[in-house]
Structure 1
Amino acid sequence: MTDGATQDYALTLDRMLDHAAKWHPEKDVATRQIDGSLTRIGYADLRERARKVSAVLVGLGVLKGHRVATLAWNTQAHMECWYGIMGMGAVCHTLNPRLTAEQLAWMIGQSEARILIVSEDLQPLAAEIAMKVGTLDHVLIIDPEGPACSAHPDLPKAKYFEALLSQVNPDGLVWGDFPETTPCGLCFTSGTTGLPKGVTYTHRGSYLHTLRQLQADVSGLNSHDVVLPVVPMFHANAWGLPYSAPATGARLVFCGRQSDGETLAELIIGEGVTIAVGVPTIWLALFDHLDAKGLEVPSLKRIMVGGAPMNAALMRRIESRGIAVQTTWGMTELSPLGTAAPPGDARSPDTAGRPALGIDLMLTDHEGTPLSRQRGHEGHLWVRGPSVVERYYGQAEAATRNGWFPTGDLAQISEDGQLFITGRAKDLIKSGGEWINPTEIEALVSGLPEVAFSAVVGRAHEKWGERPVLLVQFRDGESLEDDDLLEALKDRVPSWWLPDAVISVPSMPLAGTGKIDKVRLRSLYGAA
């Protein structure tokens, strides 16, 4: 007698698009073009085009395990390339076009990618990269703006991908014929604490991340949803939405290169978007536009935010329209989702929610020793799970200790299991031998209705070592006196935490991921 068994069914990402093509073939992916028009394609046709991408890459010599770089926006063509690269067992190395050519060339040098897929309008940046890296065999152009477009003069060998797709037949091409532990993606961190570090995603990890994201207390997507991922596909897999939407048959709406308030409003209203996803800075522009034009967005039921703390005043503005705000926390190394506030929960904008099945959390002291009490105390946050990085790309040493990854965040876990990110260890300000947490000050100031963004950085001080400086960007037409800003902090933080100076800035500098660029602020305002 033998034991029973279940089928060996590899958890590979090509199955996401296969499922959508078979069971939701007409559900469409819409992309806004630069001229404001929309292109549409059903999942079945998108899958066929993605298989043609694989056939083109095979013809160019790409094998399983090879890295293929993409420098592109949130578009249908980029999604086709994702699945075409990953489906054949190659690795999609996404590049952030908001970084410099030097940074991107360094990343390509690390990944050893020989092919670069680039959106047409990003050809000048691609040309700079190609001159610096010197090892690219092919540059393939997607997202053409029109029939009269041409390759950049410094990319004489660049080819339009569409012409190559018309010349191949994917019949006989096999997707998914590899172990589920095969790498599928490569994304470099922003490098705020040193050189960027490459995070390798696997099919298994991303598949399980998708299942975790689809839980009802997380994204809870279903086939009736229309999803607008403003979070970029070049940053942490657009939070996995190009996988989870086809996995459920939800429609996808891509905004292309434009994510201004007017563009997003047009897409949400015109396409009946039900769920929109992105960093808080995006939603400030959207709701400023809606308020200025007197527009309503009746289809929009929920906004998922992450990547930076949620402005309390902005959250109130959104929820006053009957739109739920769902706060989350994650990072590139987590693929990227870590925790989410369940939809409909009464909560503050400070909570990052709870972990879903597949992610575990632990708080430690500064030496990494677990706190004896995990609830109600601040500590250093560590995580583990099947989609959490174990080792950075190209590095021999593990990034974990005893199976746990140190996030670099300071956090508390409430008695009911809610995670509160209380700061970044690297952002703490040491003044007179004592620590000041900028995040607590920023949360209070950002809660003022006149404030769009706030940031606190340390300024060198001869006596105290460092002292906090408050930087504020006001909403259009609004202002406050320095004393009024500081009054919002009195009796709510220790008196010695009060900033020594308040500086009004016309616009807060943002990093390539849409977060406030603390490195830039420290360089501008951190000197004595």
Structure 2
Amino acid sequence: MTTPLLGQMMDVPLTVSSLIAHAARHFGATEIVSRRIEGDIHRYTYRDCEKRAKQLAQALIALGVAPGERIGTLAWNGYRHLEAYYGVAGFGAVCHTINPRLFPDQIAWIINDAQDRYVLFDTTFAPLVDILAPQCPHVRGWIALTDEAHLPKMQTALPVPLLSYETLIAAQDGAFDWPRIEESQASYLCYTSGTTGNPKGALYSHRSTVLHAFGASLPDAMSLSARDSVLPVVPMFHVNAWGIPHAAPLTGAKIVFPGKDLDGKSLYELMEAEGVTYSAGVPTVWLGLLCHLKDAKVRFTTLKRTVIGGSACPPAMLRVFEDEYGIEVIHAWGMTEMSPLGTLAKLTWEQSQRPPEEQRRLREKQGHVMFGVDMKIVGADGKDLPWDGVAFGDLHVRGPWVIQRYFQKEESPLIDGWFPTGDVATIDPDGFLHITDRSKDVIKSGGEWISSIDVENVAIAHPAVAEAACIACAHPKWTERPLLVIVKRPGMDVTREELLAFYEGKVAKWWIPDDVAFVDELPHTATGKLQKLKLREQFRTHILPTAVDVPDCPFPEPS
């Protein structure tokens, strides 16, 4: 047997610490700006960040934290949280970002499942820590991300020490060399939002994290560069802020952290003050920002691009950003199990030569895969479906930053080496993905599928609609029919009949909802996605007007 010829290149592992070391060495003077919990604006540089991250690594080692052990964070987007990203993972421990918007019992379950040794928390979460501490026996101490002067007064006596972050790292000199660790070692632990059952952990490696940062930075992905000032609205506790805390140091981009204030006015003022050119967040946040722009009659002077993901970007929102404010929207799709990026709606040269409306239709989809991800859609029989933009199927993905199994789980979810996402989608001949629904949310009417997302997007385009959700209601003839649940814009009114008439000519007739329900607010998950399970429970006994006095008959196909 012939021995394979090996390359003769340096064996340099892909590690998270190399990202911050690169930024400190080659973009050392570039700013990191944070709106702090204490209320002021904090400024320092990548060079400062790396030194303090090293001090944190030293402090955790002094506390007895070993490589592979998990360190939790309950924190907003800020410079201390960024230091934790690198200070924890940089010496071989695992940075476990925890979503503070989950229910306390769920957070306690996550901390215990991860067996976090210490938890770093912003002082706004002190009341939450009061609740969590007695339920988390593995935690050796709670570290408040502040100095001694701002340490929170806890309501109950914690069973373990309450420590000051600034005091801990001040005791260290930062004269620390990042250790050489294997790139296959774990770097970050992120849990799913747990909309069904307990959350599941996705354990990333140093290799997957660095490759994801490279992929995210590509021109046809997030397209970050050293010329950008980026403000991640997407939280650092939500799938590592979509990789921006890693892609920004890799490219040398300035970072602006908004802290806890994510309302439209606060975001706009910070973006303008810091010359932000680039941002990223979920549609619900951008709705608040657009409302502020309209009400205050102001415009952006520096913002050029924004990534919208987490849930489908309504076409009406994309059009407002681009047509009224001249801001490019990059529609993206991914998931926790994918680190998270999978596709982004960027056009090729040939596609950019097509008529404007055809270009817009492409960009309203979730887009093309980036290098590092492959995808396919399969039917109920498990066989691949054509990429014709018509066939609906279950979306499967694979790649070097897609999980192989969940944390603490022996059984792998993979099917023939592919991860089943739980999304229902089409892929068109251009290779553009269009998520039509979650498999559990799709509406099956008379043997055919109705995309709840497409129905919602039409409603969102109505000027009187602030938010919309489409769910399935039981129907004696069709099995299921769509019910539209609407939140009106403040000071505006619209009737059921007007909304249903608004659908004429925009979707197939049998896709038009059978009824409309008006509510004050819609339930959302901790990551800003619509909680349709709760809506289905809320309207479980809702009787559609079309379901009254329907005679027994076979289920014909819709026409």
The reply to whether TM is greater than 0.5 is: yes
Q: CA deviation at 1:148?
A: 4.7
Instruction: Please state whether the residue corresponding to 2:227 is helix, strand or coil.
Output: coil
Gaps in structure 1 of 5+ consecutive residues: none
Q: CA deviation at 1:527?
A: 3.0
Q: CA deviation at 1:447?
A: 2.1
Mapping 1:265-304, distance limit 5 Å: 265-304=268-307
Mapping 1:320-331, distance limit 5 Å: 320-331=324-335
Q: CA deviation at 1:60?
A: 1.2
What is the aligned partner in structure 2 of residue 150 from structure 1? 152
Whole-angstrom distance in 1 between the partners of 2:257 and 2:486? 32
What is the aligned partner in structure 2 of residue 206 from structure 1? 209
Whole-angstrom distance in 1 between the partners of 2:291 and 2:389? 38
Q: CA deviation at 1:158?
A: 0.6
Mapping 1:213-228, distance limit 5 Å: 213-228=216-231
Whole-angstrom distance in 2 between the partners of 1:429 and 1:504? 20
Q: CA RMSD in A?
A: 2.0
Mapping 1:84-99, distance limit 5 Å: 84-99=87-102
Whole-angstrom distance in 2 between the partners of 1:141 and 1:40? 20
CA contact (8 A) 2:73 2:96 kept: yes
Distance 1:391 1:4, change over 3 A: closer
Whole-angstrom distance in 2 between the partners of 1:31 and 1:411? 38
Q: CA deviation at 1:12?
A: 0.5
Instruction: Please state whether the residue corresponding to 1:426 is helix, strand or coil.
Output: coil
What is the aligned partner in structure 1 of residue 169 from structure 2? 165
Does residue 1:437 correspond to 2:451, yes or no? yes
What is the aligned partner in structure 1 of residue 73 from structure 2? 70
Counterpart amino acid of residue 97 in structure 2: T
CA contact (8 A) 1:12 1:176 kept: no
Mapping 1:90-489, distance limit 5 Å: 90-143=93-146, 147-156=149-158, 157-171=161-175, 173-319=176-322, 320-342=324-346, 346-348=359-361, 350-371=364-385, 376-461=390-475, 464-489=478-503
CA contact (8 A) 1:118 1:141 kept: yes
Q: CA deviation at 1:435?
A: 3.5
Which shifted more, 506-515 or 71-80?
Answer: 506-515
Whole-angstrom distance in 2 between the partners of 1:332 and 1:302? 23
Counterpart amino acid of residue 205 in structure 1: S
Deviations along 1:156-185, one digit per CA (max 9) or x if unpaired, are: 4211111111112332x3424211011111
Whole-angstrom distance in 2 between the partners of 1:111 and 1:140? 17
Instruction: Please state whether the residue corresponding to 1:347 is helix, strand or coil.
Output: helix
Distance 1:26 1:373, change over 3 A: closer
Whole-angstrom distance in 1 between the partners of 2:430 and 2:480? 36
Deviations along 1:355-400, one digit per CA (max 9) or x if unpaired, are: 1111111111023221255664222111111000110111111121
Match for residue 534 of structure 2 among 507, 520, 523? 520
CA contact (8 A) 2:475 2:481 kept: yes
Whole-angstrom distance in 2 between the partners of 1:406 and 1:510? 24
Whole-angstrom distance in 1 between the partners of 2:157 and 2:536? 37
Match for residue 514 of structure 2 among 482, 500, 512? 500
What is the aligned partner in structure 1 of residue 549 from structure 2? none
Whole-angstrom distance in 2 between the partners of 1:234 and 1:328? 18
Distance 1:296 1:357, change over 3 A: same
CA contact (8 A) 1:274 1:302 kept: yes
CA contact (8 A) 1:313 1:449 kept: no
What percentage of residue pairs aligned between the two structures are identical?
Answer: 39
Distance 1:164 1:419, change over 3 A: same
Instruction: Please state whether the residue corresponding to 2:193 is helix, strand or coil.
Output: coil
CA contact (8 A) 1:339 1:352 kept: yes
Instruction: Please state whether the residue corresponding to 1:212 is helix, strand or coil.
Output: helix
CA contact (8 A) 2:106 2:198 kept: no
Instruction: Please state whether the residue corresponding to 2:256 is helix, strand or coil.
Output: strand
CA contact (8 A) 1:151 1:159 kept: no
Which shifted more, 43-52 or 410-419?
Answer: 410-419
Whole-angstrom distance in 2 between the partners of 1:20 and 1:9? 17
Does residue 1:80 correspond to 2:83, yes or no? yes
Whole-angstrom distance in 2 between the partners of 1:50 and 1:418? 40
Runs of 4+ aligned structure 1 residues displaced above 6 Å come to: none
What TM-score does the superposition give when structure 2 sets the normalisation length?
0.90
Distance 1:374 1:386, change over 3 A: farther
Whole-angstrom distance in 2 between the partners of 1:298 and 1:526? 47
Distance 1:409 1:217, change over 3 A: same
Instruction: Please state whether the residue corresponding to 2:67 is helix, strand or coil.
Output: coil
